[in-house]
Structure 1
Amino acid sequence: MTTGDPLLLSSSGSADSPSKPARPSVGSLGCLCATDSFSSSLYEDCETASVTLTDEREAQPRHLRELSDVSRVAERFQSADSQFFHRLSVECSQKERQRKVSWGGAMERQHSPSSLEIGMVSSSHEKPNRSQRIRNKSSQFEDPSEQEPRKIYINDPNKTNDRYEFTGNEIRTSKYTLITFLPKNLFIQFHRLAYVYFLVIAALNQLPPLAVFGRTASLFPLLFVLFVTAIKDGYEDWRRHRSDRNENNREALVLQHGDFRSKKWKNICAGEVVKIHANETMPCDMVLLGTSDPNGIAYIQTMNLDGESNLKTRYARQETTSMIYDDTYSGLIECELPNRNIYEFTATMKLDSQRVPLGQSNIVLRGCQLKNTEWVIGVVVYAGQETKAMLNSTISPSKSSNLESYMNRETLWLSAFLLITCSVVATGMGVWLFKNSKNLDALPYYRRKYFTFGRENRKDFKFYGIALEIFFSFLSSVIIFQIMIPISLYITMELVRVGQSYFMIGDTRMYDSNSGSRFQCRSLNINEDLGQIRYIFSDKTGTLTQNKMEFQQASIYGKNYGSSLQVTSDFSHEISTAESLRQSVRKPKVNVDLALTELLNQPLIGEERLSAHDFFLTLAACNTVIPVNTEGSHDLTNEVDEIGAIDYQGESPDEQALVIAASAYGYTLVERTTGHIVIDVLGERLRLDVLGLHEFDSVRKRMSVIVRFPDNNVKVLVKGADTSMLNILKVEIDDELYDSLHVKIREATENHLSAYSSEGLRTLVIGSKNLTDAEFSEWQEMYEEASTSMHERSAKLRQAAGLVECNLTLLGATGIEDKLQDGVPEAIDSLRQAGIKVWVLTGDKQETAISIGLSCRLLTQTMHLIIINGSSEVECRRLLAEAKAKFGIKSADFGRDLQGTEDMYHGDISKLRPSNGHLSETGAQSLELTGVIGGDKSEYSENVTNFDGTELALIIDGSSLVYILEKPLESELFDLATSCKVVICCRVAPLQKAGIVDLIKSRTSDMTLAIGDGANDVSMIQMADVGVGICGQEGRQAVMASDFAMGQFRFLKRLLLVHGHWNYQRIAYMILYNFYRNAVFVLMLFWYILYTAYSATLALTDWSSVFYSLIYTSVPTVVVGILDKNLSHNTLLCYPRLYEAGLRNEGYNLTLFWITMLDTLWQSLVLFYVPFFTYNISTMDIWSLGSLWTIAVVIIVNIHLAMDIQRWVLITHLAVWGSIAATFLCMVLIDSIPIFPNYGTIYNMAASRTYWLSVCLIIVLGLLPRLLCKVVYQTFWPSDIQIAREAELFKKLPQQLGSRPASDIS
């Protein structure tokens, strides 16, 4: 080809400078501000007067006198960095009205002075608003650009480390050394409130006036727990020491005296040059200087860092590759300070007088493995503890469960009861002492004998006066009744949660074979919350869908193409002449339109043909996809017949789909470097020099690449979301005829976009623009300055992009299909049957969201859609008011009551219909809107008159939320949304997702769950009570921020309906049972003290009291909390409404707590008074009576537990009956020791029939009322769970069992 060939020329002719730029589409920024109105006001101001921009980061203010400057201001205003860290003010000289915009709120208009302030303003005494709460919840990294950059001298580690205090590369994950183990481990253990409580009680018991228990016995439980924990911690730390030693002693090749020599990892320093070979692991964070690939490309696997198995591409700058061959390793790198963000890196390299920008694509992190690349050479920038891998090894903040908060409430009641009982004992002691003060010397308890000079004297010894005796009696009672406050319950709950997590992780039904992802429990504190979820907030792309994109349709020059024929890479000859090349491209099926292929095979003449050429050229070039030759020659620029199979590697499935589609139509990307792109265009090679790349970000919502063609023409190729692209298209040209045609093409394209969205396709708009020399020079100067900046590089790059991303020529649009994941419709259907509301929060278009809602059964044809698309606060208020008035929605309480009557079926098992496993294909169906409220629509359908019997679905966009969140309208939205069956929020920003979650959390006590797969879901996941991350194709940020992680959305059904139900029922019962077993023991002792002159004496031995909670009754609690199942998983999945037991708090509530306490009171009375009256005239000593009480209380509490166990297994039998046997064994051993006062007691008592009859009578009388109540309640008022349980046992259908609805349990 020659340079005169039309193919080598840019197809758009000359580029004239625009006379007036289009207004930028700044869009909505989540909960930030009404930026559309802001940019509009700036335009109006510039048309009438000058505008002054003042930035706290700049010394001098800027004067905006041209509309082109406003575009940059508006883009800058969108900057998340600017919003988060800086203040920006705009002042107009003539405008009298002030518009004030603050971070976290929509626009507020005030009068005088005339200035506009942008920033986050909050007083220290004010309550944080939602935006601040969201920002605090989200994982925000410190801005490293605010500090001085770090300087690394390449191949000069001495100079680097002498001038700066860098850490070595030795890592240490262990906590202790031999010297620090004991004090440090004890210090860490005593951070637990339970251990401090036990320590205080044990310390009080060491004082002579308060010595209730033996001093050794009182210390034994605490010492035992401390010892076992120390052994566990010591073993784990020993393993960490061993792992650290192995890691630090690994070797790598380091440049020393001109040669690469082996050096241990721990001795590598910042500034040293390291060489890594294929399949080796990176020892530290390194900036690439060169690779075995001539183009400087390297492939790494980040499995050890973020769990992703797919390969990622990294580059060495072309400016540094000569170092490798010339052995001139020198230069200076200025980089940001160490931080935890593994997805960003900002640095600049100085080579002689040249400044080279460095970014995330130029650094390889510690723990990554080198793949498909022979070797790489890099310079160390972060080592040891400063590497990103080590900085991310910290544990994320934990959440507390809902049940635990209720448990804390009941603990306060028990604490109050403890104080009352101790006060009763102390008061009784004071009264008794007052009445018997004259006879104290005759009581052995208050005196002792001692000798002075051989003569016996008598003196009151233990009597300190009534006041002190009352005080000591109170403290002694606290020691005796210490287990009334169930501090040990927190430790028991931790053990149970660990066991539950073990079984959840091992559930093979939640294993995703496609991605190899197992279920992960990243938080052990909220297992039971999975059984009480009322709201699910879900992302769409990658969460409900597969995130595996397939190109389906295209709109080019106003014409729609696609869906006519489906071909693969072996499509026949009429596609292009480069058949052999495109046969080698490994790609999925692509919908290829024959009419479009015929157009592409025509000569490159005519506007339509040129538009199609530029369209596919943009698809092939405007991306970050790397073509990898997996067969044959490694050089993809060889002749066609020498090229092996091409595999496209990229981090964005959308980009891969577009590149594959371009290849199917004859535009095959065959080579990409940082400096150029080679595209095979219908069999002929086209090389484009890459002058700059503006990657996609959530602010601009588009991506652009600036390329130079062989004829030296410079063009910017852009693709992005329609909301971002349509407002930056060319709007004025001189040719009226062409302008008319352009308007028609644009209208046709917008119609095609709406049609694609209605079919559930993801859409992108494609555009381009020829740059004049002046435009290119202005952009290049700003781009080079921004790309080498160490401060606010992202914001400055966005400003540079704004210079060229305007007045674009519309080339067309694309429609990409993202299919639903398997089982999503069935999962959503089951979750909704379970009484869970599913809300979808997506960034897609409204039509796409509605179509996906139909496909996944979130929306039904019978639902009435309420669509809120407001462009102002006034309009949003009107739309919300009309919707509430039409459907009779009065208040939040009213809406919740309606929902409750619709969703709750207390005990009515006939309502428990099985989940339907049938999947209907409704993705492409159109939706009949029987009750629509839109941006310009105020009329409702006549057939909807009230809310009765009507299922509502709310559809609202992010632009409307700008005017609603954190405004008076927020309560209106809450009333409407909570009255709807379904809510879909489209075109929402990440912070808006978190704002919606916080809207529910702050106004209800309902439990929320957020599930997503991408970085834009992190704030939502962290805001929700339970966060679930999907191990998808959009990185691991969502997983890293989540509490639980899984491979597919459909696993959420099993996680909630099965494991959530089990965990909630187990933990709820375990809490009540622990309250019961501790309280019954304490009350039994309390009744005894009342009959011993209120003295702090015990009939039980010290060791019996200690072992009661430690051995006799603790093991069954843990085993049942881990293994018990009230229903099988098949039943729970078949009848999702059984999940509503958790929503109604049936397992644990205040009513059940007090009923349990009444049962405890009765059993304690039986335990005390049966032996009391049985042996009233007996000569039985105190230790014999204590032996009877010990055996009786252990047996009764274990049988109490056995009555409630739903599913018996071998371990359960061993735990329950083994605990009773262990009690007898311990008593035999203790009573066999002569030094104990109860020596031989058990042998004498066991020989008495009265003893065993008393035990049996205690068990029968104590548990008979409980048994009768259970029989009556289950017979006449059975719950859904009880009916389903009976159906399982008798193998009957639940519909055959009668039931009567029960009232709500609050």
Structure 2
Amino acid sequence: MNGCNLYSQNGKLKENVLHEEGFVAGFAVPNVVRNQKYRAATFVFEVLYEQFRFFFNLYFLLVALSQFIPELQVGFLFTYIAPLVFVLSVTLIKEGYDDYQRYVRDKEANSQRYERLHADGKKKSVPSADLKVGDVVFVPSGARVPADMLLLRTSDKSGTVFIRTDQLDGETDWKLRRALAGTQRSPTDDAIINVRGSVWADKPTKEIDSFIGNFTLEDDGLDDRLEANSRGLEHVEPLSIDNTLWANTIVCGGSAVGLVLYTGADTRVAMNADPPKSKVGLVDIEINRLAKMLFALSLVSSFVMVLLKGWTDTWFQSLFRFVILFSSIIPISLRVNVDMAKTAFSYFMMGDKEIPGTIVRSSFIPEELGRIDYLLSDKTGTLTQNQMEMKEIHMGEVSFGREALDDVRSLLRKAFEIKEETFRGRPPVQLRTRRLIEALALCHNVNVTLEGGEAIYQASSPDEVALVNYAKLTGLVLEDRTLTAIILRRPTGEQVEYEILNVFPFNSDTKRMGIILRENETGRILFLMKGADATMTPIVEFSDWLEEECGNLARKGLRTLVIAMKVLSKEEYAAFSQRYELAKRSLQDRDASMRTAVEELECNLTLLGLTGVEDKLQDQVNSTLETLRNAGVRVWMLTGDKVETATCIAISSHLFARNAPIFHLLAANKEQAEEEFKRFQKKPGACLVIDGRSLSLCTDNFPRQFIEVACKCPSVVCCRCLPTQKALIVRLLKRHAKKRCAAIGDGGNDVAMIQAADVGIGIEGKEGRQASLAADFSLTKFKHVSRLMLWHGRNSYTRTARLSQFVIHRGLIISMIQIVFSAIFYFATIAIYSGWLVVGYSTVYTMLPVFSLVFDEDVDPDTAFMYPELYKELQKGRRLCTRTFLEWTFKSIYQGGVIMLLSIFMFDDSFLRIISITFTSLLLTELLMVALEIQKWKLLMIVSQILSLAAYVLSFFLLPTYFDVGYIFSGSFWLKVTVITLVSCLPVTIGKWLQRRCSPPAYLKIARSRDGFDF
């Protein structure tokens, strides 16, 4: 097996590598945090490469470059270069600013200073980036752990310290870590450097909940020696996850000294993170596809013009000139308008008082919020507050709710006034109550800390804190806990001490935890266990009420735990202890050997009772999930928590519909996974619950089939998920199911999922800001996601689609005029509009009215939330598709042709007049089309129309060479313009009215029905 030995010799730590598969390279990894997307030297090239991967930008780059060739020039160079430079400049500035922010955050993390112990026993302050494998580092209370380390010593004499792992696994509760016994015995932190020993550590891995290693104490250099045993194994101390401090966790409740095992990219947090990537919205992809279609139209038109003109020696040059002349068919202003609109949408979101504190960190994809198919959500801190409260206890025929605390206190006081041994057979209710409450106060991994003179309970599981707090409320108080003892204060006021002999922590395989104690008062050895009903039922005495009551509590959304006990004789415990100690020192299959030893005790346990704990949900989670479900958004829960906990939350939050069938897909190997998957396929309509191991088996062996079947479920819960597995689910949904995915979370373990999703949403809360900083959108509460998607997402998508259509229409109609003009005037490659008219048409004259569409609303907020089903229409992507593109193309061809042909038909005697007539008709047609498309008029829209007309009238005097001013103010001119504009717009308007009358969209039906109109 791969590993490394870290030696302390002559006061200096050295490293030796047992090299089998190149693991030696791992030691060269620098301990730096890097989340930047680009490198300074290649920043411009990387951004430009990303931009020119799209046909849209590449096309205009080629068109702009062609204008440097005299034979291909057809207009002002400025009109082709400026828009492209503007678009690229905005992109470079945005990407540069975002990456600079990442650089600042990385620099802050890498420059954090820590005290490193040196050979002379002194501490030297060094930046985090300078730490190397084998360094001994002091980490003060409240500081971030800079690398993956082995815990050597703590400030607490018991050798324990708490850590917060919220930025690693998403759990906000403190977890207990234990220092090595051989190094904890050092009198001071500085004396650790004199300890001579070696550490065998497993190779780097993504597993954040497991670690295997051994510590061999060769010579501790201290007066106090470890006790020897006859087997000569006294110097070997097995290492587990309890002896580690992973990078990015926070040391709490004391200081720690650790030995650096893994650095930089080899740390758990780095291996579970994905590098940031540029996200491209589906609208941008669709625009790119439409640009290709427009280019094809331009190319066909140019080829037809050359064909009609006749083949000459310069036909190829003419073809290129026509392509450039018709280049306005693909309006480069489309990118400018769309990018500006996205920025506006971002400000609308951040300025919404209904969702205060919202931050848009990526203004490139706000419209993606309007067409989400799947929302993948974290549980802890996102859907729940992670605050537990005991609600019910059951002991068969007797049960007590939260409101019956006085009854429990009374029974408990009576129980301590009588002697247990005086009863034979089934004990009375007061003694059964005492046994259950004592088990709650003893069977746990809760530690007592002092904050402001008040005792506070801390544990890795909030369930355990809730159980101990309940015992405290009944009068049985946990006073103190060390590595070797638990002290309780009874309702009578007396204190009793229990010696801790063994602790068996909860894990996802056993789904239960146990503890062996010796009661000092009586000398009895007690084996207490608690766990999920599925795993506890086979090992406790038969009960006819257990299964039924577990179901009742689960239907209430409560998390259930079965509590049991067993009294061990001294002989039984001695035999077990010997087997267990040998298993702990095994290097091969250590966990399995330890599990086998414990399982020999787990039989014929006495059932004490059943508990029901409530995990409080975030505000309005139920209504938010229901709204999203009605909107057609499938919500999946991806959590690192255990199966039972996640299932309870799915029920209580109504993520699973009431009485919906639930299928648990749990497998230990490939064959079992295939069998369970086949069973699941025969359960249509069932909600799926799957754990991390089973998920890996399914996604490794049959990913497409698994995703296809899972997508048919009303909802899915994935438990015990690693951060990389969360990201994998997102990628599989996008790749195999072709679905648009949003991911929401609040912890560092959600970053990979957030970055992999089409839209990443971070919640800034208890678990810090890492998820919020990595996300595209940052919220303060989960309930705001419905408004973000159903209102702002809807508006962003519908407005972007409409804006894109109008900009395309604006380019197509002027191109059609150019095509007809060239055809009439002997296929000349001469622009009908040149200079400032071309620039003014897409900027001064029409930009404001067209851009004002970003303020339009097809429905009001109340309608959007009252009828969330309207969102389903957006998921189909029909607002901007080939059909709508063709509709607007035909409109443009018709209107452009009518304007040019009628102008020629009404032609008087001046070419300048025909330009005035066609351009004025073109402008009025565009403004009228915008006005007819607006659903809800606002002041800015009216002002934009007036300003555009005023600017056009003003240009008569500022650009006299482009207009026949005398003719423009004649009645004949305005008569012709009015006729041409009406012929251009009236048929299109009538066709639109008939379409809405015969086949109105859903939002229009609802809007008119609410206003009292009958369809």
**Maintained 8 Å contact 2:498/2:517:** no
**Displacement, 1:814?**
1.6
Q: Distance in 1 between matches of 2:147 and 2:644?
A: 46
**Displacement, 1:302?**
6.7
Local SS of the residue matching 1:814:
strand
**Displacement, 1:421?**
1.7
Work out which of the residue numbers 181, 184, 193 in structure 2 matches 1:321: 184
Task: Spell out the pairing of 1:657-696 with structure 2 (5 A cutoff).
Answer: 657-674=466-483, 676-680=485-489, 683-689=494-500, 691-696=502-507
**Maintained 8 Å contact 1:365/1:388:** yes
**Displacement, 1:1050?**
4.0
Q: Distance in 1 between matches of 2:332 and 2:383?
A: 42
**Maintained 8 Å contact 1:398/1:525:** no
**Displacement, 1:782?**
2.2
Q: Distance in 2 between matches of 1:1041 and 1:1168?
A: 53
Work out which of the residue numbers 641, 648, 658 in structure 1 matches 2:457: 648
Q: Distance in 2 between matches of 1:877 and 1:183?
A: 50
Deviations 1:945-1004 (A, max 9, x none): xxxxxxxx8678879x99999999x999999997xxx95779988799999999999998
Structure 1 residues 661 and 427, CA, compared in 2 at 3 Å: closer, same or farther? same
Task: Spell out the pairing of 1:667-746 with structure 2 (5 A cutoff).
Answer: 667-674=476-483, 676-680=485-489, 683-689=494-500, 691-697=502-508, 699-705=509-515, 717-727=528-538, 729=539, 742-743=541-542, 746=543
Work out which of the residue numbers 1080, 1083, 1098 in structure 1 matches 2:813: 1080
Task: Spell out the pairing of 1:1170-1181 with structure 2 (5 A cutoff).
Answer: 1170-1174=902-906, 1176-1180=907-911
Local SS of the residue matching 1:225:
helix
Work out which of the residue numbers 53, 59, 75 in structure 2 matches 1:197: 59
**Displacement, 1:1112?**
6.2
Structure 1 residues 197 and 828, CA, compared in 2 at 3 Å: closer, same or farther? same
Q: Distance in 2 between matches of 1:521 and 1:684?
A: 56
Deviations 1:394-430 (A, max 9, x none): 5556776666666566555434433322321232243
Local SS of the residue matching 1:320:
helix
**Maintained 8 Å contact 2:274/2:752:** no
Instruction: Indicate the residue corresponding to 2:392 in structure 1.
Output: 553
Q: Distance in 2 between matches of 1:819 and 1:713?
A: 38
Deviations 1:565-616 (A, max 9, x none): 444xxx7xxxxxxxxxxxxxxxxxxx94644553455434357588766644
Q: Distance in 1 between matches of 2:111 and 2:378?
A: 44
Work out which of the residue numbers 474, 477, 489 in structure 1 matches 2:322: 477
Q: Distance in 2 between matches of 1:178 and 1:1000?
A: 34
**Displacement, 1:628?**
1.8
Q: Distance in 1 between matches of 2:7 and 2:680?
A: 59
Which segment is superposed worse, 594-603 or 710-719? Answer: 710-719
Instruction: Indicate the residue corresponding to 1:637 in structure 2.
Output: none
Structure 1 residues 420 and 180, CA, compared in 2 at 3 Å: closer, same or farther? closer
Deviations 1:613-654 (A, max 9, x none): 66445433444433222243xxxxxxxxxxxx3222234322
Local SS of the residue matching 1:627:
strand
**Displacement, 1:390?**
6.7
**Displacement, 1:1187?**
7.1
Q: Distance in 1 between matches of 2:629 and 2:307?
A: 57
Structure 1 residues 1075 and 755, CA, compared in 2 at 3 Å: closer, same or farther? same
Q: Distance in 2 between matches of 1:480 and 1:539?
A: 53
**Displacement, 1:1099?**
2.5
Q: Does 1:417 align with 2:297?
A: yes
**Displacement, 1:1164?**
1.4
Local SS of the residue matching 1:1152:
helix
Instruction: Indicate the residue corresponding to 1:220 in structure 2.
Output: 82
Point out where structure 2 has 5 or more consecutive residues left out of the alignment. 18-23, 220-234, 667-671
**Displacement, 1:548?**
3.1
Instruction: Indicate the residue corresponding to 1:1282 in structure 2.
Output: 1004
**Maintained 8 Å contact 2:178/2:242:** yes
Q: Distance in 2 between matches of 1:188 and 1:879?
A: 42
Work out which of the residue numbers 1172, 1175, 1197 in structure 1 matches 2:926: 1197
**Maintained 8 Å contact 1:717/1:768:** yes
Q: How many residues align?
A: 963
Structure 1 residues 361 and 1077, CA, compared in 2 at 3 Å: closer, same or farther? farther
Local SS of the residue matching 2:798:
helix
Deviations 1:828-856 (A, max 9, x none): 55556656677999999999979986995
Task: Spell out the pairing of 1:304-319 with structure 2 (5 A cutoff).
Answer: 314-319=177-182
Instruction: Indicate the residue corresponding to 2:614 in structure 1.
Output: 817
Structure 1 residues 537 and 1223, CA, compared in 2 at 3 Å: closer, same or farther? same
Work out which of the residue numbers 230, 250, 260 in structure 1 matches 2:123: 260
**Maintained 8 Å contact 2:84/2:332:** no
**Maintained 8 Å contact 1:1163/1:1262:** yes
Work out which of the residue numbers 401, 404, 415 in structure 2 matches 1:563: 401
Q: Distance in 2 between matches of 1:1185 and 1:401?
A: 42
Instruction: Indicate the residue corresponding to 1:748 in structure 2.
Output: 545
**Maintained 8 Å contact 2:111/2:127:** yes
Instruction: Indicate the residue corresponding to 1:294 in structure 2.
Output: 157
**Maintained 8 Å contact 1:270/1:380:** yes
Task: Spell out the pairing of 1:614-633 with structure 2 (5 A cutoff).
Answer: 615-632=436-453
Q: Distance in 1 between matches of 2:142 and 2:811?
A: 58
Local SS of the residue matching 2:610:
strand
**Maintained 8 Å contact 2:216/2:236:** yes
Structure 1 residues 1065 and 596, CA, compared in 2 at 3 Å: closer, same or farther? farther
**Displacement, 1:190?**
4.2
**Maintained 8 Å contact 2:149/2:245:** yes
Work out which of the residue numbers 416, 419, 423 in structure 2 matches 1:603: 419
Local SS of the residue matching 1:1162:
helix
Q: Distance in 2 between matches of 1:182 and 1:1019?
A: 26
Q: Distance in 2 between matches of 1:794 and 1:1228?
A: 89
Task: Spell out the pairing of 1:223-622 with structure 2 (5 A cutoff).
Answer: 223-231=85-93, 251-256=113-118, 257-264=120-127, 267-277=130-140, 286-298=149-161, 314-323=177-186, 325=188, 327-330=190-193, 331-333=197-199, 335=201, 349-352=215-218, 354-356=235-237, 362-364=243-245, 373=254, 375-381=255-261, 395=275, 410-411=290-291, 413-431=293-311, 433=312, 465=313, 469-485=314-330, 489=334, 493=338, 496-510=341-355, 527-532=366-371, 547-556=386-395, 558-563=396-401, 565-567=403-405, 592=408, 594-595=410-411, 598-599=414-415, 602-605=418-421, 608=427, 615-622=436-443
**Displacement, 1:1087?**
2.0
Amino acid at match of 1:479: I
Deviations 1:218-247 (A, max 9, x none): 433333434454455556666666666666
**Maintained 8 Å contact 1:429/1:473:** no
Structure 1 residues 1208 and 269, CA, compared in 2 at 3 Å: closer, same or farther? farther
Amino acid at match of 2:298: L
Local SS of the residue matching 2:550:
helix
Structure 1 residues 994 and 1130, CA, compared in 2 at 3 Å: closer, same or farther? same
Instruction: Indicate the residue corresponding to 1:1241 in structure 2.
Output: 962
Structure 1 residues 1134 and 242, CA, compared in 2 at 3 Å: closer, same or farther? closer
* Alignment TM-score, normalising by the size of structure 1: 0.61
Amino acid at match of 1:1078: G
Q: Distance in 2 between matches of 1:244 and 1:988?
A: 31
Structure 1 residues 834 and 955, CA, compared in 2 at 3 Å: closer, same or farther? closer
**Displacement, 1:1220?**
6.5
Amino acid at match of 2:1013: G
Structure 1 residues 477 and 604, CA, compared in 2 at 3 Å: closer, same or farther? farther
Structure 1 residues 823 and 242, CA, compared in 2 at 3 Å: closer, same or farther? closer
Amino acid at match of 2:809: Y
Deviations 1:7-27 (A, max 9, x none): xxxxxxxxxxxxxxxxxxxxx
Structure 1 residues 973 and 223, CA, compared in 2 at 3 Å: closer, same or farther? closer
Structure 1 residues 261 and 536, CA, compared in 2 at 3 Å: closer, same or farther? closer
Task: Spell out the pairing of 1:856-935 with structure 2 (5 A cutoff).
Answer: none
Q: Distance in 1 between matches of 2:251 and 2:805?
A: 54
Work out which of the residue numbers 1108, 1128, 1137 in structure 1 matches 2:860: 1128
